[in-house]
Amino acid sequence: MFDGHGLDLSRKPTPISDGELRDRQHEIARQCGQDSILIIVNNNESIRSADVEYPYRASSDMLYFVGWDSPNAILCICNNSNGTHTTLFVPPRDTERETWTGLRLGVDGALKNFPIDSALSIEDIDVELPKIISNYRTIFHQLGTSSVVDQIIGQILDESSNDATCLDYSEMVSEMRLRKSKSEIDLLRYSCKIASAAHIESMIQSHPGMAEFQLQAIIEGCFIHNGSQWSYPSIVGGGDNGTILHYTENQSKINDGNLVLIDAGCEVRGYASDITRTWPINGKFTEAQRILYQLVLDSQMAAIEACKPGSRFDAPNNAAKEVLARGLLELGIIPGPTLQEANTPEQLGMFFMHRTSHWIGLDVHDVGAYTVNDEPRELEPGMVLTIEPGLYFGAWRPDIDIDEKWAGIGIRIEDDVLITNSGYEVLTADCPKTIEQLEAIIGSSK
């Protein structure tokens, strides 16, 4: 169990090197300019209920520049005439606290184990951060991430005699993160391999009458077994539940004859995968399910073929929509009468209401602008995006009138695609998706 039907998960990728993290620090310092400081605040811990906290996830920007994944930390990347200098504020060692919540690296451990030039105690932030900031005229910071840092910056700006300014760094960092390095791609590949194994396990062990949460347990058990965690709450929708785009209740029984739609991915060292597969719980598509499934698969393949350097970001979406619109028009599900009229929000948009793609990386919906100068941006090598067309015929919907044979069918097929120098690489290619592959593997553990 959890071996992904023979997928090799033993060759784990190496972490991002200190050298690469240093290069990122130097590059963002260069972009910020001379006499500048960039301040990144790590995510806060969040209370789930009473004294129980949600599992902690570090800020992706903190991971990107220094790799620090513990709470209550602040990163400063400074640029002056002496070059780039990086300081990390961290929680100090505390035997009493560590007895309850685990060991801390502390100031000395942070300096020894992370690519930084100095480390200071977060308990001294009120004294030490103003000293650092006051040396710089341009402050890059996301206001609202820390009331303490916001207050310090505000006070320095009020007292400034050198026309100091505070600017948001988001756009610069997003552009850097949009293009993945070889090391990042290796981590994404491995995350995709684990997620593929998890989906395969759910297919192998499926049978009519099981609950959605049981498939969720198989998926997420595979994530944990292979040293990862989910990158977003898993969607497991049987039957009509699969027509709800962000369905996460996962409590219903999956009846014989139902399709099940599973949208689930994991992350490895912060790098995410995002896969959706749809298949019959009993291992055999009905005729109506088969027709619509093949249509969505054809649209996805057309979208993937549109992924190449120099193409616009909207090219995959346009390719998928044209295939879907033509297919629904031929099936008589939408009236047309022309393909142009069929391919509109008023017709196709009734059954395919989301975009085909989003960026993926350190966040499952990763940062990076989709347009440049009000035009869809060109795809470049190193960019990674999802390709996920779908069709949704919710029997619960009062706004549609369709033949009963289509009612309750929800289908989405999603893969993660890397743009290469010559075209594309499907990072999630290990996960079965053709009708023949699915029908051969579903329930095969019996």
Residues of the chain with CATH 3.40.350.10: 18-176
The CATH architecture annotation of domain 18-176 reads: 3-Layer(aba) Sandwich (3.40)
Q: Tokens in use for 292?
A: 């619509």
Place of tokens 């784990």: 12
181-441: CATH number: 3.90.230.10
Burial of 70 (0-12, 13-18, 19+ CB in 10 A): middle
Distances (CA, A) of 358 to 69, 227, 417: 25, 25, 10
- Say how far apart CA 410 and CA 259 lie, in whole Å: 8
Are 168 and 40 contacting, i.e. CB atoms less than 8 angstroms apart?
no
Residue 190's nearest CA partner among 12, 330, 446, 404 is 12
pLDDT, residue 249, reads 97
Residues of the chain with CATH 3.90.230.10: 181-441
Are 320 and 314 contacting, i.e. CB atoms less than 8 angstroms apart?
no
**Could you read off the pLDDT tens digit of each residue along the chain, which spans 446 residues?**
566 667 889 889 999 999 999 999 999 999 999 999 999 999 999 999 998 999 999 999 999 999 999 999 999 999 999 999 999 999 999 999 999 999 999 999 999 999 999 999 999 999 999 999 999 999 999 999 999 999 999 999 988 766 889 999 999 999 999 999 999 999 999 999 999 999 999 999 999 999 999 999 999 999 999 999 999 999 999 999 999 999 999 999 999 999 999 999 999 999 999 999 999 999 999 999 999 999 999 999 999 999 999 999 999 999 999 999 999 999 999 999 999 999 999 999 999 999 999 999 999 999 999 999 999 999 999 999 999 999 999 999 999 999 999 999 999 999 999 999 999 999 999 999 999 999 999 988 76
Side by side, which strands form the sheet with 271-272?
229-230, 266-268, 271-272
Just list the catalytic residues.
Answer: 51, 246, 263, 274, 354, 358, 365, 388, 392, 412, 414
SS (H, E, C) 87-101: EEEECCCCHHHHHHH
pLDDT, residue 1, reads 58
Place of tokens 């198989």: 218
pTM of the entire predicted model: 0.96
Burial of 307 (0-12, 13-18, 19+ CB in 10 A): buried
pLDDT, residue 6, reads 76
What are residue 235's phi and psi, to 5 degrees? Answer: -105, 120
pLDDT, residue 326, reads 98
